[in-house]
């Protein structure tokens, strides 16, 4: 598991939809020489993620980019087909890049795995968001639990938009 102060694994392979189908993308490709906002949600098309989290980043993408962010990346433990379809459904094109952590490898490495078996969803990612600097393999920070923000309908976009650390909670 990546701990605070560790370097993020640049060779960690994720997937995204390309014009010809799913294609691999590494964490290093996403971050090298750029500032990104990476946020994770438990599942594409789930109610709270579809009504609050992804739409918040889509709607505030201009504000977030105005703070020096080159790209906004949404990650979920889903496959690239699902993430691509969800991005189309939510109007994310050109605003939020939809990336799949299909096997949950990145999620586990970050210590953010959530057992949502009780909801019939299996292993997923906890909600979290982080602003990742231009270093490419910058030190990883730990997400802090903030379930009260999600219960009030305030997603992690507010934390990132004001350059605050991270918000996370269960589905």
Residues acting as catalytic residues: 49
Residue 36 near residue 72, CB atoms below 8 Å: yes
3-class DSSP state of 26 = strand
Spatial separation of the C-alpha atoms in residues 74 and 98, rounded to whole Å:
5
User: CA–CA distance from 4 to each of 1, 95, 105, 107, 138 (Å)?
Assistant: 10, 29, 18, 15, 10
User: CA–CA distance from 132 to each of 12, 20, 66, 84, 141 (Å)?
Assistant: 15, 29, 15, 23, 10
Structure tokens belonging to residue 34: 């750029």
Q: Cβ-count burial of 105 within 10 angstroms (0-12 exposed, 13-18 middle, 19+ buried)?
A: middle
């Amino acid at each position: 598991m990546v701990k605070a102060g560790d370097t993020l694994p640049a060779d960690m392979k994720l997937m995204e939809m390309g014009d010809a189908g799913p294609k691999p993308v590494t964490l290093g490709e996403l971050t090298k020489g750029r500032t990104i906002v990476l946020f994770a949600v438990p599942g594409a098309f789930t109610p709270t993620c579809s009504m609050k989290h992804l739409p918040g980043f889509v709607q505030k993408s201009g504000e977030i980019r105005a703070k020096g962010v080159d790209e906004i990346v949404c990650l979920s433990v889903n496959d690239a087909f699902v993430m691509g379809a969800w991005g189309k459904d939510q109007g994310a094109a050109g605003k939020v890049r939809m990336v799949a952590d299909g096997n949950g490898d990145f999620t586990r490495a970050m210590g953010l795995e959530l057992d949502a078996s009780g909801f019939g969803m299996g292993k997923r990612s906890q909600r979290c968001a982080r602003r990742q600097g231009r270093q490419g393999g910058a030190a990883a920070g730990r997400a802090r639990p903030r379930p009260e923000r999600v219960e009030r309908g305030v997603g992690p976009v507010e934390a990132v938009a004001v350059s605050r650390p991270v918000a996370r909670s269960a589905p």
